[in-house]
Structure 1
């Protein structure tokens, strides 16, 4: 079972909307080496895992796969925030939707020459399950051979390639919203590189000086350096409420990245930050609940509470 806490796994720094950066981030979400791929690949590998004696390896893959669910949530929310309000429309809510606002533009003019037009036509200024050129995410990306060594090698390649691409995306934008998420994922991808490398080391593979892939100068990416200084590249979470994970038997000892840190797997999950819901977007005809629906919901709630009061008495106020 999986449980959801209404927190994002990492804070998203506020900045101006940037639809071009949002489209670049789509590769990190729905591309061949993106977060949707890692999430699905590791969850399928853990569901299909065979061999009770190898449980620590299953628990490691499952823990990382569970974290990847939160990465999908994080990067998807970041894309939505980069798009939210990006038309630059300066009109009033009561203005005709086909009229340019005072000092502004027609509501969705920016969609014609910035980023991915499907973000506006299909997604109502939100993330889509596609790559940066609009190709839909495909289940054929998922690799699950059933062979532990092959799966671990493939997973390490996936994390390394995903990290490489995120380093490139970082260099494509100076938007603080985009970079805050990209930096976090660069560091967590390194942690997952370490996890799979350590698992393979326990099976006889010696990585010597190969990791991390790619080798980056942390000081070049200040947001990344801040997270590395916290040791985030050497932590792995279990996401295990019952305390049954044995992933710590593998994720321990000196880091394969040869950065002088030790691997630690003694945390259930990071604290996270509050998750908020984006405002309505009238130009996208995505207003949420109109007054009539809100009135209906309130009336239904009142009826249900009346039945509760009849059966159990009024609820006590704290």
Structure 2
């Protein structure tokens, strides 16, 4: 059961209209790394979690918070679009959709959203559930969560530097702080999974004795850059061997002959096609 509290987690009041900024903030709502992604990602991770207790509670606490972040950003977008577009060129245009576009507003914010936020990114591309990850493996998911919060904070920081609006900056300061603590909590949770003996370093912590033992500790140098072997990953304890001149292990990647009726080009294709036509003609003659 979810309850909605009619108060924002953080205030979302810009000092004035800014259609261009409203469009940028759409990325933080419906982009691949936006709040809708982490909200649904954490919700499904929590719903799919088989371990009752601290891990599931942490996931669900954060998931529910992220729903509030979507509401906060959507409110900010709507308020930024109030009385927007606010440019001389836009005021000179009578058609509202054209005015919105020339003023920098996402035209769908005007036509579809009626001056409100959309479940889209900053280019108007619809948000997709394919952005979210909920694998059922907590170690794999928590690592994905660290990456999601890192990318989200990176984009928030970039937008923070794109505006001088004090009200927007105050909200973004809060968002930055929450993205910081969420990165920290998932990294700590990863260590706790290991300490509790639930997961190891490798996902999944299985079939390690079955996998190819020759190739589970080598890095193949396959680019022109030659500095890879100087990294700490190839020195000291638990070093990974760097193969500076790896050889291919398989033969040519030649595809097999296709079904003649698919008409794919290949050597000797005419003969094969002719044979297929001949068989079809023979079959037709038998039916007469």
TM-score, normalised via structure 1 length: 0.57
Alignment of structure 1 residues 111-190 onto 2, 5 Å: 111-113=100-102, 114-190=104-180
* Structure 1 Cα separation of the partners of residues 77 and 172 of structure 2: 11
* Structure 2 Cα separation of the partners of residues 72 and 159 of structure 1: 14
* Structure 1 Cα separation of the partners of residues 138 and 63 of structure 2: 15
Which of 73, 77, 99 is equivalent to 1:110? 99
Paired position in structure 1 for 2:245: none
Shift of 1:105: 6.0
Paired position in structure 2 for 1:76: 74
Q: For each residue in 1:8-32, what CA deviation from the matched residue of structure 2 results, as whole angstroms up to 9, or x when unmatched?
A: 1111234110000000000000000
Answering whether residue 191 of structure 2 is matched by residue 193 of structure 1, we say no
Q: For each residue in 1:204-244, what CA deviation from the matched residue of structure 2 results, as whole angstroms up to 9, or x when unmatched?
A: 49xxxxxxxxxxxxxxxxxxxxxxxxxxxxxxxxxxxxxxx
Paired position in structure 2 for 1:301: none
Paired residue secondary structure (2:161): helix
Q: Determine if contact 1:32/1:137 at 8 Å carries over to the other structure.
A: yes
* Structure 2 Cα separation of the partners of residues 50 and 116 of structure 1: 42
Segments of 5+ residues of structure 2 without an aligned counterpart are: 196-288
Paired residue secondary structure (1:172): coil
TM-score, normalised via structure 2 length: 0.63
Say if 1:178 and 1:110 are closer, same or farther in 2 by CA, change over 3 A. farther
* Structure 2 Cα separation of the partners of residues 73 and 200 of structure 1: 29
Q: Determine if contact 2:149/2:179 at 8 Å carries over to the other structure.
A: yes
Paired position in structure 2 for 1:13: 13
Q: Give the superposed CA RMSD.
A: 2.1
Shift of 1:87: 3.5
Segments of 5+ residues of structure 1 without an aligned counterpart are: 91-99, 206-318
Instruction: Give the number of equivalent residue pairs.
Output: 192
Q: Determine if contact 1:15/1:177 at 8 Å carries over to the other structure.
A: yes
Q: Determine if contact 1:31/1:137 at 8 Å carries over to the other structure.
A: yes
Runs of 4+ in 1 over 4 A off after TM superposition: none
Paired position in structure 2 for 1:64: 62
Paired residue secondary structure (1:140): helix
* Structure 2 Cα separation of the partners of residues 178 and 39 of structure 1: 21
* Structure 2 Cα separation of the partners of residues 33 and 5 of structure 1: 25
